[in-house]
Amino acid sequence: MKNSELHSFSVKEQTKDIKSKLEPNKILIYDAIMGSGKTTSAIERMRLYSTIGQKFIFVTPFLEEINRVQDKLDSIIETPVSKHEFDILNVYSSGTKKYSYKNKRDSYIDLLSQNKNIATTHSLFGSLSVGDASLFKDYILIIDEAINPITLFEFGARDIEILFNEQLISKDVRTNKINVTDRQYKDNSFKEVLNFCRQDNVYLNNNTFISHFPIEIMNACKQVEILTYLFDSSLMAYYFKLKGCNYSFLTKLDEKSIKVKIKNNLNIYEGSRNQNKRSKTAFSKNNLTKKSKQERKKIKDKISYVFRYEFRTGSNHSAFTTFKEIKSKYAGKGYTKGFIPINARATNEFSHKKSMAYIGNRYLNPAILSFFKEKGIKINQDYWALSELIQWIWRGCIRNDEKMNLYIPSNRMRNLLISWLND
């Protein structure tokens, strides 16, 4: 449940006499447009927290953002947070540079047990379980960009039948919650799916196992701060609704004037290379996957044409995206090296890009929609798709208050953006 009262971003007000003002289980949403200073404000709060001995955990999507925040903290904290306390979470197995889940997670738990200040990624934070909740009781948790609290594992219907018949798993007929029945099973045949099902809060929806993040982690914290934009469109907001969590918004921005500035800086292509039929599913993942080689070539030719003749930018300043699984099928001359993941956020690595092409039309996985629907929660897919699009656009030079070209051939996605700008 959300509290609609709006507060300011005042750092001093937030941290004044903080030890006496912290409220257990309080969730604060710093909801403001990208580039408005949410992370900078959070760094200042972390500095103030450190001066009173209040421990904090900072969670961000990318490793490079951890390093940036760490450097900022080291420059403003009189007794800076030890680099060891941050960098230990970036451990790789020796020699191969291969991701080592066990080493990283164990290091994370070890730091929590030592009550250290910690910066980590969304991915590693998502590996926590209910049993870890007690380690968070002394912490303020700061999450940069709303996390995805839902994880899917799609499995074949016949294989799921075998899991039940062999009594490897069982299901609560009322809630569809899954339990691993045979804890001694060692065979590799179902090792991966059984490891997934051993997580907390795993449910079965048709042929998809669904796990959601243990709310006990956030409930254990002294306070939770989430830095994002359009929070109500995120899966995290629906997750809080599912769990009955209360939260309050904090903002003070004149968003209307910000949108006017963005609109003036954005050159949105409106020519004949856009989708010519008003189909809601055109450029969706399923639609793009099923296209023939000839159809894919036509799309690639349109992208190249727009970059070369409409936007007139070279490969160094051009960027595109599509769904990861079909990236290679839509890569083309003059823009391939500028690929930005379709779910990119919280990074300024691509802020030099002056022209961007969004080859996608976002919809949530039907299993997620069905899962929430069964709980009586309906998700607004247009709102979610819009927030994902805005986050991606903001990776380009528009974040620097510069002019930027944008090609979105999907009618649905383009019109969602234009409606948001016009508001």
**pLDDT tens digits along 305-345:** 999 999 999 999 999 999 999 999 999 988 999 999 999 98
The predicted model gives 143-166 an average pLDDT of 92
CB atoms within 10 A of CB 36: 19
- For 239, the 3-state DSSP assignment is helix
Instruction: Establish whether domains 2-149+214-253 and 256-422 are of one fold.
Output: yes
Q: Which helix H or strand E contains 124, and what residues bound it?
A: helix 122-125
Phi and psi at 266, nearest 5°, equal -95, 125
Distance CA 24, CA 219 (A): 8
Helices (H), 312-404: 327-330, 366-374, 381-393
Residue range 206-263, pLDDT digits in tens: 889 999 999 999 999 999 999 999 999 999 999 999 999 999 998 766 778 888 889 9
Helices (H), 57-185: 63-76, 83-87, 101-113, 122-125, 157-165
* CATH entry, 256-422, from 2.120.10, 3.30.360, 3.40.50, 2.60.120: 3.40.50
CB-CB contact of 10 with 250 (8 Å): no
The predicted model gives 271-285 an average pLDDT of 90
Confidence category of residue 2, pLDDT binned at 50, 70, 90: low
Sketch the domain layout of the chain as residue ranges. 2-149+214-253, 151-212, 256-422
Q: What is the pLDDT of residue 313?
A: 94
In 3D space, the residue among 116, 121, 31, 19 whose CA is nearest the CA of residue 69 turns out to be: 121
Spatial strand order in the sheet of 150-154: 150-154, 208-212, 202-205
Residue with the bigger pLDDT between 276 and 364: it is: 364
Identify the CATH homologous superfamily for domain 2-149+214-253: P-loop containing nucleotide triphosphate hydrolases (3.40.50.300)
- Give residue 77's region: left, alpha or beta (phi > 0; psi -120 to 50): beta
